[in-house]
Amino acid sequence: MLNSKIEWCDHTVNLWWGCTEVHEGCDNCYAKLIAKRYGHDVWGVGSGRRYIKSAFETLDKIQKNAEKQKKIEYVFVGSMMDIFEKPMPIVDNTGVVSGLNTIDLRNELFRRIDENQYSNLVFLFLTKRPSNINKYIPLSWVENPPLNVFFGLSVVNQKTANDLIPKLLKVNGQKFLSVEPQLESLSLEEWLPTGELDWIIQGGESGGRKRPFDINWGRQLRNECLEHHVPYFFKQIDKVQEIPEDLLIRQFPL
């Protein structure tokens, strides 16, 4: 999506549509709700994934515009998918398997990045499956990932942080956390002092089924990032409540 409404990126691009729930942060997944609304059976291990045919055309357009303006722009991949989900078959609009697999689309994007086709773009690959990152990235990336790629992890409570952050830290390159939707108080003091996390995004849940967010959770994490000089971005309480002035912090890592 050109000019994304997601505050921490400039654009959102999805190679496909569909996923499978991983942890409690997925309970109110907006991408799943939208898919059901449109009648797309693209969720769960027994369903295929729907190809977003405009994805690479959109990326080419974003790159062209950014290059023309001499800007660096952030691209989130992706809001309707998990880039590091295990390979899944691609289905067409009627639900028939097309012959493509998600791994084909993922590898095509990685190839284009390797060939420097998107030199003005910073890719934010956000996943709930950090143990899959080193499995699916190009072999050359395992040791030397591109400088315009950030590997991100979504955590929602202390348990998901404790379980998943160590797996993310096995990945080389630039890394970030999306603590959203945050469901309880959590601390990152175990990891922030190491300097291995390059960016922290934080926010509560939005929508009709939103779960509560305590504003003091925001202040705690803000203070931890400030102490350890880690860029911090507070996204939202719930998209209804106004963000307090002391939490209107929207830093980027580059």
pLDDT, tens digit, for every residue of 182-219? 999 999 999 999 999 999 999 999 998 999 999 999 99
* Distant-in-sequence, close-in-space partners of 201: CB < 8 Å, separation ≥ 6: 8, 176, 177, 178, 179, 180, 233, 235
In this predicted structure, the answer to whether residue 2 has a pLDDT above a threshold of 80 is no
Say what the pLDDT of residue 93 is.
67
Q: Per-residue pLDDT for 179 more than 90?
A: yes
pLDDT at 62 over 90: yes
Does residue 1 register a pLDDT over 70? no
Angle at 10 between CA 63 and CA 53, to 5 degrees: 60
| Helix-strand-coil split of the chain, %, nearest 5 | 30, 20, 45
Chain position carrying tokens 């693209």: 42
Quote the pLDDT of residue 96.
Answer: 64
Q: Nearest 5°: CA angle at 169, between 166 and 175?
A: 130
State the fold for domain 11-247. TIM Barrel (3.20.20)
Q: Report in angstroms the alpha-carbon separations of 38 from 86, 207, 209, 216.
A: 24, 18, 19, 38
Q: How far apart are CA 12 and CA 40, in angstroms?
A: 20
Tens digit of each residue's pLDDT (9 = 90 or more) over 18-41 = 999 999 989 888 778 787 777 788
- The dihedral over CA atoms of 36, 37, 38, 42, expressed in degrees to the nearest 10, equals -10
Query: Higher pLDDT residue, 254 or 95?
Result: 254
Averaged pLDDT, 152-176? 98
Element at 202 (helix H, strand E): strand 199-203
Residue 35 has what pLDDT? 74
> Of 96-110, 136-150, 229-243, which gets the smallest average pLDDT?
96-110
DSSP-based three-state secondary structure for 147: coil
Where in the chain are the domains? 11-247
Cβ atoms < 10 Å from Cβ of 183: 23
Q: Can you give the pLDDT at residue 166?
A: 98
Mean pLDDT over each residue of the chain, to the nearest integer: 94
Eight-class DSSP state of 70: T
Strand-pair category, 121-127 with 149-155: parallel
**What is the C-alpha to C-alpha distance for residues 107 and 172, in angstroms, rounded to an integer?**
19
Higher-pLDDT residue of 228 and 208 is: 228
